[in-house]
Amino acid sequence: MKSWKKQLKNEFDNAVPALKDEVRNAPIMTRPENEKFEAEKRPVIGRRIGIGAAFGAFALVIAFVCLSAFGVFNSVTPEPNKFVIALEINPAVAFVTDGNGVVINVTALNDDADVILSGESLSTDMKNKRLTEAIVAYTDCAAKLGYLDLTAAKNAVRISGSSGAGEKLTANASESLKNYFRSKGIYAVVVEDFIGVKNLCGRLGVNETDSLDELTESLCNLSELYGARLSEDASSEELKNLYKTYVVGAQTLEIVREELLENISAVISNAQMVQQICLRNYEIMMHKDNPFNPLPVDYWRIKKYPNANYTSEFAALMSETEYLLDEYEKKFGKAIMSLDELKSVADVYSSLSGMNLEEAFSSLSLADFQASTKNYIGILKNIGFDVTALESLLTAPVTEREYIAQLQTLLSELFKSRTEQNKSVYEQPREAISESDYEKFINDIKKEYGSLEAFWNKK
Amino acid sequence: MNKREIDIALKKIAKGDNFAFEQLYTETKRGIYSFLFSYFDNVADCEDAMQTTYLKIKQNIGRYQNGSNGLAWILQIAKNTALNELRAKANYEKRQSGSLINEAICYDSFETKDAVMSIMKRVLDEEEQRIIILHVIWGYKHKEIAEIINCPVGTVTSRYKRATDKLKAAWKEEQQ
C-alpha cells in the first residue's frame, strides 16, 4: 500500500496550477527606488563609454577563447590552496581549510549553528585543527545540545564539498564522522555531496561565483555568526524586527517556558505566598485598628513605629504577616522590604490572574510572551533565578552593536539551557555500533529509501 | 527550499530579480497551494487565491523586512488572501441569494479529484488539514506550527495525531 503522505504530495504536485502570465510578467514593486533606476541616471556619455567597454570586453573574451583553444592557458590552472566544506545537521556550518585540511575559518549558516558556535571555546578550538577533528568536535557539541536525536533510530547529516581537488578531504571528514557515530552508538547516516562551486555558494547562502578562491575569501570575510550577518547595515526598523524575531522570539520563550515548567511547584508556591502577603497587607491597611486609621498605611510603614499600640486582633494580623514574610525570604532568598517591592513581585502575575499556571505556561503563545516578557522573566526572578542576562534582553537595541551583544547573551543562555535539558540523554552510556551493524543500517536505509540522498531529502 | 534560501530569494526579488521570483514559485508552489487548499472547497477558488498570493508577493516585496522570517511572511500573505477571497465570496453569495446564479455556478469540487486530498476534505476539519499540510508538505515541527497557527504545542501534537489516525483509517478503507 502506498503511503498516504507520498500520495498526498503527488496529488498536490499534480494539482498545482501553472503561474499565469499576468502574474509572471507583473512588475516587482521594489523598495529602493534610487538603486532601481541607477542605470537610467547615467549621463549619455557614460552610456556610450559603457557600450564601448562592453565591446572591448567582448573582444577580450573572444581573444581568450581563441588562445585557450590553442592551449595557451593550459598550464596556468593552479591547485586551489583552500577548501570549503559544509556540514548540515540542521545547525549548518561551513569550514574553510587550507590545502592541508587544517581549519582556518568557521561560519554559522543558520541560527541553530550560532548556538553551537557560541559555546565555550569551540569556535576557537576548531580553528587550527584538522578538519576530521573539527567536524567531530562540532557534531559532538550538536549532539550535546540535542540537535541530533540520540534516541532516534535514524539520523542524517550531510557533508558537502566542491567537486575536484577537495573531494578527498570531504571523504576523509565523512569517514571520521561515521567513526564518531559508531563509537557513540548513534545511528546516523552521513550523506556525501560533491557539487560545483556555484552550487556550493547557493547552499552556503553567499554570492554566486565559480571561483573557489573567491568563495573562500567571501566566507572568511563574513561574520562568524549568522545572526550578526543579518543585522549588518540594518536600518533601525530592521533591527527592531530582528530583535523581535531573534532576541525576544521563540528561542527566548523556550528558555523561559522550560524553566517555568521545570520549577512549576516553586512558581505556584511563590504566587500563593505573594497573594497571601498582599491580602494580609490589604487587611492591615483597611483595618479599623490600624494605628493610622483612617489613613490606609501599609505593614512596612507601621513597622517603622515600634511603639505604636496594637489591639490584640491587629497584633495577630501583624505577626501573621511577619511570619509570612520570613517564610517568603527563607524559601525564595529575597526579602520584601516595602509596599513597592511587594507590588513588583505581585505585578508579574497580573496577566495570569485566575489561570492555572502550568496550563498557562504550556500554552503560552509567542505573541503573549512578547507582550509580557518582563513579567515572565520576573516570575523566574521571584523564585530565585539569576535573571541578569535575560533582563538585559528586555530593552530593544538602537545600534547594531547593541543588537549583537544581546544576541550573544541569548546564544550563551540557549547554550546553557540546551546543555542542561539534554544532559541526561547525552550522558547516557551507549554501546558502540559494530562495523557490520552499521553497514546493515546503511543498507537498510538504502533499501527503504532508494538512496542515502533520498533519505536525507526526506528528513 | 529551506527558510534561509527563501530569505535569500526574497532579498533578490526585492531588488527586482524576476528569475528569483520564478524560482521561489517553483520551490514553494506545492506548499502554498496545499496551505490554501485547507481554506477552500473548490479548485477554482484555490487556484485564484494561489495566483493572487504570488502577485501580492511581487506587489508587497518592498515591505518585506530583511532578516524576518520569509516563509512566515509568505504564509501570512497566503492566509490573508484566502480570508479576503472567502469574505468576498460570502458577500457575493449573500447578494445573489435567492437568484438562480448560485445554481448556475459549477464548482470543480475537490471531491471528484484526488484520493488523499478528497479524504482530507471529507474527514478533517480546516485546522486539522492545516496542521497536516504544514507538517507533511512544509516539514514544519509541531512547535513551529503552534507559532504559525497560534495555538499550544500540545494541541498541535494531539490534533496531528488525531488527524493522521483519521486519514490513515480512511486511506486504508479507500485502498481496500
pLDDT digits (tens, 9 = 90+) for A390-409: 999 999 999 988 999 999 99
- Considering only A90-99, A266-275, B40-49, B156-165, which range has the smallest mean pLDDT? B40-49
A327-347 burial, b for 16+ CB within 10 Å, e for fewer? Answer: ebeeebeeebeebeebeebbe
Specify the pTM: 0.57
The verdict on A33 touching B (C-beta cutoff 8 Å) is: no
Whether omega for the bond prior to residue A294 falls within 30 degrees of 0, making it cis, is yes
Closest CA to A236 of A34, A403, A18: A403
Chain B partners of A11 at a C-beta cutoff of 8 Å?
Answer: 113-117
- The span from the CA of A163 to the CA of B121, in Å, is 46
Residue B173 CB partners (closer than 8 Å, separation 6+): none
Nearest residue of chain A to residue B69 (CA atoms): A245
Mean pLDDT, residues A430-457: 90
* Chain segment A299-354, per-residue pLDDT in tens: 999 998 877 788 999 999 999 999 999 999 999 999 999 999 999 999 999 888 78
pLDDT of residue A30: 67
Please state, in angstroms and as integers, the Cα–Cα distance from residue A77 to each residue in A81, A96, A112, A164, B113, following that order: 12, 21, 38, 13, 57
Q: How many residues does chain B have?
A: 176
A222 CB-near residues (< 8 Å, 6+ apart):
A107, A206, A229
**H-type alpha helices, A21-110:** 21-24, 33-36, 38-41, 44-69
pLDDT digits (tens, 9 = 90+) for A417-427: 899 889 988 99
Average pLDDT, chain A: 84
A146 φ/ψ sector (left φ>0, alpha ψ -120 to 50, else beta):
left
Cβ count within 10 A of residue A254 = 16
Quick one: pLDDT at residue A80? 58
Cα–Cα distances in angstroms (integers) from residue A392 to residues A226, A389, A395, A410, in the given order: 21, 5, 7, 9
| A36 interfacial to chain B (CB closer than 8 Å) | yes
Phi, psi at residue B36, to the nearest 5°?
-70, -30
Query: Does B111 contact A at CB distance below 8 Å?
Result: no
Distance of CA A254 to the CA centre of its chain: 11
Tens of pLDDT, residues B9-45: 888 888 888 888 888 998 888 889 988 888 887 788 8
- How far apart CA B168 and CA B69 sit, in angstroms, is 33
Q: What is the pLDDT of residue B98?
A: 40
Higher pLDDT: B112 or A259? It is A259
Query: Which chain B residue shows the shortest CA-CA distance from A203?
Result: B5
pLDDT surpasses 60 at A187: yes
Q: Please provide residue A164's backbone torsions phi and psi, each rounded to the nearest 5 degrees.
A: 105, -135
Q: Which residues of A touch B117 (CB under 8 A)?
A: 8, 11-12, 15
- Distant-in-sequence contacts of B15-23, Cβ < 8 A, 24+ apart: B15/A30, B15/A32, B15/A35, B16/A28, B16/A30, B16/A36, B17/A28, B18/A24, B18/A28, B21/A28, B21/B54, B21/B57, B21/B58, B22/A19, B22/A24
* pLDDT category of residue A93 using cuts at 50, 70 and 90: very high
How many contacts does A have with B, using Cβ atoms within 8 A? 133
> Which segment of A174-178, A420-424, B20-24, B82-86 scores lowest on mean pLDDT?
B82-86
> Starting from the edge strand earliest in sequence, which strands make up the sheet with A155-162, in order?
A103-108, A92-98, A82-88, A155-162, A188-195
Please state the rounded mean pLDDT for residues A261-270: 94
Q: Is A12 on the interface with B (CB under 8 A)?
A: yes
**Residue B151 φ then ψ, to 5°:** -150, 165
User: Residue A238 is nearest to which of B16, B66, B115, comparing CB atoms?
Assistant: B66
Across the range A241-258, mean pLDDT stands at: 89
CA geometry: angle at B155 spanning B153 and B157, to 5°? 70
What is the distance in angstroms between the Cα of B12 and the nearest Cα belonging to chain A?
10
pLDDT at A236 (0 to 100):
85
Q: What is the pLDDT of residue B102?
A: 39
A337 CA: distance to closest CA in chain B (Å)? 38
Q: State the sign of the Cα–Cα–Cα–Cα dihedral A428, A434, A438, A440.
A: negative
Q: Is the pLDDT of residue A42 over 70?
A: no
Q: Which residues of A touch B65 (CB under 8 A)?
A: 237-238, 241
Nearest C-alpha in B relative to A13: B30
CA-CA distance, A386 to A265, in Å (whole number)?
A: 18
A8 touches B at CB < 8 Å: yes
Residue in A with minimal Cα distance to B110: A15
As a whole number of Å, the CA-based R_g of chain B is 18
Contact A302, A370 (CB under 8 A): no
Higher pLDDT pick, A21 / B51: B51
Average confidence score pLDDT of chain B: 79
Which residue of chain B has the CA closest to A31? Answer: B62
Reported as a single tens digit per residue, the pLDDT across A194-213 is: 888 888 888 888 888 888 88
Question: Which pLDDT score is estimated for A244?
Answer: 87
Q: Which residues contact A120 (CB under 8 A, 6 or more apart)?
A: none
Whether residue A43 has pLDDT greater than 80: no
Residue of chain A whose Cα is closest to the Cα of B58: A28
Instruction: List CB contacts of A7: < 8 A, sequence separation 6 or more.
Output: B115, B116, B171
| Contact residues, B window 33-62, toward A, CB-based 8 Å cutoff | 33-34, 37, 43, 47, 50-51, 54-55, 58-62
Answer whether residue A239 shows pLDDT above 80. yes
Kindly tell me if the per-residue pLDDT of B113 is higher than 80: no
Provide mean pLDDT across the span A150-176. Answer: 85
All three cell numbers of A182, joined, read: 559508531
d(CA A212, CA A121): 28
Closest CA of chain A from B92, distance in Å: 24
* 8 Å CB contact of B25 and A7: no
The alpha-carbon radius of gyration of chain A (Å, integer) is 31
CA–CA separation, A254 vs A261, rounded Å? 10
On whether any CB of chain B is under 8 Å from the CB of A327, the answer is: no
